[in-house]
Each structure stands twice: as structure tokens, then as C-alpha cells.
Structure 1
Amino acid sequence: MTGHPNPAEYARHSPFSDPGAHRALVAGVAAEPGAIHRAVTAAITHYRADPAVTSEQFADIDRRWIASILDAATERADGPLDAERAPDRRVGGCCRDHSLLAVSILREHGRPARTRLGFAGYFTPGFRHDHVVVEAGHNGRWVRFDPELDPAAHGFDVHDLPTGPGSPFETAAEAWLGYRAGEIDLAGYGVAPGHPISGPWIVHGYVLGDLAHRMRTELLLWDGWGVMDAPDAPIAADALDLADRVARLTVAADGGDASAEAELAALWRTDERVRPGRTVTTFSPAGGFGTVDLEARTTAWATAET
């Protein structure tokens, strides 16, 4: 996709959020955070947070299109999306899938919505987990919310999250700029405490991933393209500079700077280092390494899927 989505385009489905044959099912969920929370948590179980996840659910995590996720959901259980279902009847996924389903619901109701990549400090004290949340257009601003969270379990408004550096959810751009300024130690940012996928590498990738999601290209968290490199490889100087630029523009655009928004759009349109093409690589926890054809919706796996 080229160009920049204006606010009206955020109300239109991307190929990833389009529910396809399940349009009526998605439209049956009210476009408000409480109903969305019930629907996304009833339909999708987090493959890492659920200790009883089945092998079938683990394999689900590479269903990158909402239409495919809902294929599995409807095959395993009847009824509306927010209906209670047995744990093993849910679809395996992660925060990206919860949030993209929320975005699909909002867009189906004509509401502008988008996913944001960053790091949440409300799961493990002293650590920020990689995470995806939702922003919905409302009264001229983007309202950020986490569709996974039960409002009663947290001491902040999960339906209108505080924003900015140090907030419960920091965007990848905010974390990156803090790191580059020497203000943040990214050792406490990543998949989980002690997990090898932590530190500057994952935050660097999420700066670019957040730009893709901003441009309605809602790829999986383990997809790679452009200047992204393997976790154990040093980040090249030009890739550092690129992330610096994208992060500065992202933070400025989030603050309402229209010129920064336009510059992000131009960068996305013209720089192949940030924009995925027809194919991306994927480093799936379930399927190993593969090459994904985004137009054909196929994946050629280099290792056997588990």
C-alpha cells in the first residue's frame, strides 16, 4: 500500500482487518470498548499467557488475516463473537490479534481505528512487555485502549489510556528516543524477563513495525522486512539513523504535527527500507522461518511447522 491513510481511510478495512465472509459476525459486536473486550477475549486466547493452549491453537498464531482467524472461530463454536466458549474452542493468537479484531469491529461500524506497537508496563512490575493496543478516532482525537484488559483489574482507565513517555503503554518510538537519548535502559523491554528477544533490537523493529501498522499494513509481530535483521546481529548505522528519523516523526505526528505526518507518509511511499513489498520473512514461534507472499496469502516454510 502506498500513500498515507487520512482519518477517513482508517475507517476502511485493510486486507488484514477485513472479515470477509464473517462481516455480519463482526458487525454484531457493538463498537464500544466493553463489548469489544468481551468479544476479543472470548474468541482469542493468548498463546503465551494460556498455560493450557493446545497444539492446534499454537498453530493458529500464523493466521495473520482476521478472515482466517474467524474461519477457525466459527468452525470451533457457534454463536456471536462475545458468547462464552470453552477454552479449547478459542483461536490461538496474541495481543496483535486481539487488537486487530478490535480494529476490525470498529472499522466494520465505520469508526476510524488503528493498531499501535509498543511496550506495556502493566503485566510484570519493572518490565515492559512488547504489546499492541488500539487507537479509535473519537471527537477529533485518537483514544488509545487495550481490548485485552478488564477495567476492574487496573488502576488506570484501560478504555482511555494515558499517553506519553512513562505512561502505562509507551509507543516503540517513545521508547527508542528515550534509549537514544541515554534516558532508558532497554534491557527491561522485550518479550519477557530473561527472554533473549529483548533490548534495542526488538524496540528498533517495533519502531518500523508501528509505522507499517500506522499505514494499515498490520503485519505479525515476528515478520521482518527492509532493514530489520536477525536478533543476534548488530544494528547497522544506517538502520539506527532510519529508526531515529521514524521515531522522531512518529512522536511529532502523535502530537498533532501535520508536517511530520506528511513526512512519514512520504517516507513510507518512497523508502523500501521501511515498506514491506509483496513478500516478508517470518520467524514464527510456531512455524519456524518462512517467506510469506502477502498477495497470494501463502507461506513457504523453510522448517517443518510444529
Structure 2
Amino acid sequence: TQDVSDRRVASGPMLAYYTRPGVMTSAGRFAALLDGLPHDVAALAAVGQGLLIHEHMARGYGVTLSEEDRSSVHTRPAEELLAQIVARDSRPLDVARPPEARLPGNCRHFTVLMTAMLRARGTPARARCGFGGYFGSGTFEDHWVCEYWDAGEQRWRLVDAQIDAVQLGWFDIDFDLTDVPRDQFLIGGDAWERYRSGAADPGKFGLSLIGETGDWWIAANLMRDAAALLNLELLPWDCWGAMPGPEDPIDPELAALFDRLAALTQAPDATLADLRQLCDDDRLRVPPEVRNAVRGRLERV
């Protein structure tokens, strides 16, 4: 399993790589705000839950968002997320804001902020893009979680930083959210492997909210997960290179490329150099501008 692989090969330099802030996980001019935050992983996740609100779940908290409110979901760097958070409320980050004062985002924003907070306290962490199977929809839903290094157990664990006490009342979750089982959250590479082996129906992977699923969605999240492993955590709707759309067939040559990419993302600590080399392929490399599919335009990253 991936746990066994990571336990065997995670090295000092590798862990250091995932402790240093990246382009999207640097707090930048707000770094001092992360000082003194809790060291307990669950408590740290609760900090983010008191700062952010999921744009598609806001009504469950009694909040109605305008389109202007939702513009923050297009924010990529943690530094800019923090800028918007403190512009709304300048109190310390561990002071939970009322739901209507929280910054709208999605699972990716909870994950990026969690990754930034963990790295700031010296804990190796990285964002993972894939699919969550615990939302009660019968679909493995498009989702992001944070993967962090448990030094005591010498293994990587998954933490879902989005699911708070309110959401626990909506979903049938019977596991530790700071140690999400690997069959409950599938990284993009695991989902791709299941699909390619015939073990999973690609029509069960996507976003049921908008009625879109398929092999193209699995491939897209595989590419986003690979980019995140190289410290570039993009938006869930950022598109580039060979990333297919709903109407794009995945031919055998491209499928073989995704097979190789999936294998490398499944054991990244052993294969990071190979992953970096493969992602130099023009079909996978993240360019200076990506297409924001929601806004229908190119944006610099």
C-alpha cells in the first residue's frame, strides 16, 4: 500500500521539501499570524474551519452568498487568502469567525490553508487532489485533502480539514478525520488505476452537484494532484496541457501517459525526481497561464 511505501522511503530531504512553503502555501507577509497556532492536527483544522466557509454548503450554516461573495473561490495563494481573511476580521486566526463573516472557498482552500499552517509549524504536509467517497451521494466526489507526516508513526496521514461538526451531521462518517482511510479518499492516481483495471466505474467519479462524471474528470484530478506534489496547488477548475474535457476522448497514447503519471503519484517519496521529469512533458507541464474553466479565461499562476 502507499502507507507501506511512504514509511519505507520518506527521507530527511524529502520531508524537508514538503516542510518549506511553496508558491501557494507561503503565508508571505502574514507569516507571523501563524505563530502560536495549535500543534494538534484536529485543532489546527478547526482554525481553518473558523475562517472559511464552503461556497456550496453556506446555506447549511444559514448564509446566502452573492456572486461577489463567491469571487474569493478563485484565489490561489494562501497569502492572498489570509489577506482577505484579515481584511474582514483582524482578530487572531484562532478566533472563529461567525459563518457569515468567513471567507468563501472550497475543499481546495481548506486544504491549502491547512498545508500552509502545518508547514509553518515544521510539519511536512502536502495537498492531495482526488475523490471523497463519504458524502452520501453514491459518487466519489471531486475533493481535496491534506496529507501530513506523522513523525511518531513514521507514515503519511490524510486529514480532511473541511469537515467540521456541522458537516458531520450531514454525512455518514465513522472514521478519524485526521487519518482518513485510503479507500475513503482516493488520490487521483488511485482512482485512475481503479478505472483502468476495470475495478471502478468512471461514471462514479466527478461532481454529482453538477451532474458531471467520467474518465476525463479522473485524468484531470490526476494532473492536478501531480502538480500539487510538485508544490503547485491549482484551483479545481484550472485546466492546462493534455487535461481532457467532457467531450475529449482519451486515446491509447494519452492513457499510457496517465498510467505512468498515476504510478508516480501513488508513491511520490520514492519517485519525486521521476515525477518532476515526467511533468516536464509539454502535455503535463503547468504553463505560466492556465485556463480558469469557470471564468472562461486564461489566468497567470
TM-score (norm 2): 0.86
Q: Distance in 1 between matches of 2:272 and 2:23?
A: 22
2:6 aligned residue: none
Q: Distance in 2 between matches of 1:82 and 1:54?
A: 26
1:266 aligned partner, one-letter code: Q
Aligned 8 A contact 2:140 2:206 in 1 = yes
2:224 aligned residue: 209
* 3-state DSSP of counterpart to 1:292: strand
Q: Distance in 1 between matches of 2:265 and 2:76?
A: 25
The match for 2:273 among 262, 267, 271 is 262
Q: Distance in 1 between matches of 2:175 and 2:37?
A: 24
1:276 aligned residue: 286
1:8 has 2:24 as partner: no
The match for 1:25 among 28, 33, 41 is 33
1:81 has 2:93 as partner: yes
2:212 aligned partner, one-letter code: I
CA deviations 1:244-269 (Å, max 9, x no partner) are 11112222x15x6x2x443223212x
Aligned 8 A contact 1:31 1:105 in 2 = no
1:147 has 2:166 as partner: no
Q: Distance in 1 between matches of 2:70 and 2:251?
A: 33
Percent identity between the two aligned chains: 31
Aligned 8 A contact 2:219 2:244 in 1 = no
1:100 has 2:124 as partner: no
1:157 aligned partner, one-letter code: D
* 3-state DSSP of counterpart to 2:122: coil
Could you tell me how far 1:151 is from its partner in structure 2? Answer: 7.4
Q: Distance in 2 between matches of 1:14 and 1:31?
A: 20
Q: Distance in 2 between matches of 1:20 and 1:241?
A: 39
1:297 aligned residue: none
Could you tell me how far 1:290 is from its partner in structure 2? Answer: 1.3
2:5 aligned residue: none
CA deviations 1:188-245 (Å, max 9, x no partner) are 211125x343111111101111000011011111111110133222223332221111
1:157 aligned residue: 176
The match for 1:235 among 227, 230, 250 is 250
Aligned 8 A contact 1:35 1:82 in 2 = no
Greater CA drift, 41-50 or 146-155: 146-155
Q: Distance in 2 between matches of 1:158 and 1:86?
A: 23
2:201 aligned residue: 185
The match for 2:215 among 176, 180, 200 is 200
1:41 aligned residue: 49
Could you tell me how far 1:125 is from its partner in structure 2? Answer: 4.2
Could you tell me how far 1:31 is from its partner in structure 2? Answer: 3.2
1:248 has 2:263 as partner: yes
Greater CA drift, 183-192 or 24-33: 24-33
Aligned 8 A contact 2:137 2:208 in 1 = no
1:82 aligned partner, one-letter code: D
Q: Distance in 1 between matches of 2:164 and 2:51?
A: 15
* 3-state DSSP of counterpart to 1:6: helix
Q: Distance in 1 between matches of 2:134 and 2:94?
A: 25
2:296 aligned partner, one-letter code: F
Q: Distance in 2 between matches of 1:31 and 1:292?
A: 35
* 3-state DSSP of counterpart to 1:55: coil
Could you tell me how far 1:271 is from its partner in structure 2? Answer: 1.4
Unaligned runs of 5+ in 1: 295-306
Aligned 8 A contact 1:172 1:207 in 2 = yes
Aligned 8 A contact 1:282 1:292 in 2 = yes
Could you tell me how far 1:145 is from its partner in structure 2? Answer: 1.1
1:291 aligned residue: 298
User: CA-atom RMSD, angstroms?
Assistant: 1.9
Aligned 8 A contact 2:291 2:299 in 1 = yes
Aligned 8 A contact 2:46 2:164 in 1 = no
2:84 aligned residue: 72
Q: Distance in 2 between matches of 1:292 and 1:19?
A: 21
Q: Distance in 2 between matches of 1:31 and 1:15?
A: 23
1:290 aligned partner, one-letter code: R
1:298 aligned residue: none
